[in-house]
Amino acid sequence: MADGRLGEHTALAKDQGPTGPNKERQEAPHAHWIEAAAHNQFVYVADLGLDRVLIFKFDATSGSLTPAAPLTAKAPPLNPLSATLNPGAGPRHAAFAPDGKFMYVLGELQSSVTVFANDAEGAYRTVQQISTLPKGFAGRNDAAEIAVHPSGKFLYASNRGHDSIAIFAIDARRGTLTFVAHVLTGGKEPRNFAIDPSGQYLLAENQLSNNVVVFKIDRATGGLTPTGQVVEVPSPVDLAFWPRE
């Protein structure tokens, strides 16, 4: 509303389809994340239960959502248009390359990142899947958050259990990821993290240790170095930067 109040809902879309193999976490559709992207023309919904990212056309004037169809008959016959992950991946969140050509989907249940390319037909094809964990790690882990650096050169993903941020370099032409490093978050259960708009700092929110740890980002390598600043916050789970006036 003009005065900031919320009006009646303008759209109601119900996820449907076959669920993934994880009977404890994928017993039903589970819409876990939503974001408007592609110049506000489309809305993306990561459904952890369906192992898919559903794509809807968005009317910014009316607020309506319409299942997106492939742009041409040559595209895969999916309705609605979606990006499908490996069975059991459990898509939690997603992030986009600055130019919109690639989508990076975090699989919570398999601790993975799946890279999708947006092709000329309007469909998403799988380019790569890569683990967020070190080789040989056998402990409990749930991937939590994912973000692309404002430069488009690096991708970050957090691990709850290993308690780290995985850093990857991005190939700008192909969209593929190359592992760079794991950096411990200085606490337990990094459920979320955020990169400041300037791309200089990453703030990791450790839910179970009740702290937010600040890291300096190396713009050349993507590396993270603790600044020494730690803010005590009860059970931090999300963080956003408010744009300056």
pTM: 0.93
Q: Average pLDDT for residues 113-123, to the nearest whole number? A: 83
Of residues 173 and 245, more confidence is placed in 173
3-state secondary structure (DSSP) of residue 199: coil
Name the average pLDDT for the chain: 92
Computed from CA positions of residues 209, 229, 197, 1, in that sequence, does the dihedral angle turn out positive or negative?
positive
Domains of the chain: 1-131 (2.130.10.10)
Distance of CA 2 to the CA centre of its chain: 31
- Which pLDDT band holds residue 245 (cuts at 50, 70, 90)? low
**pLDDT over 50 (residue 240):** yes
81 close to 67: Cβ distance less than 8 angstroms: yes
The pLDDT value given to residue 70: 54
**pLDDT over 90 (residue 158):** yes
- Which pLDDT band holds residue 119 (cuts at 50, 70, 90)? confident
- Please tell me the distance from the alpha carbon of residue 124 to that of residue 96, in angstroms, as a whole number: 12
92 close to 107: Cβ distance less than 8 angstroms: yes
**pLDDT over 50 (residue 185):** yes
Burial of residue 138, with CB atoms counted within 10 A of its CB: 0-12 exposed, 13-18 middle, 19 or more buried: exposed
The pLDDT value given to residue 76: 43
Q: Is the peptide bond before 18 cis (omega within 30 degrees of 0)?
A: no
Digit-coded pLDDT (tens) for 191-230: 999 999 999 999 999 999 999 999 999 999 999 999 999 9
Q: Average pLDDT for residues 147-167, to the nearest whole number? A: 99
* C-alpha R_g of the chain: 18
Map tokens 């993975």 to a residue. Answer: 112
170 close to 216: Cβ distance less than 8 angstroms: no
Digit-coded pLDDT (tens) for 66-112: 888 654 434 444 445 789 999 999 999 999 999 999 999 999 999 99
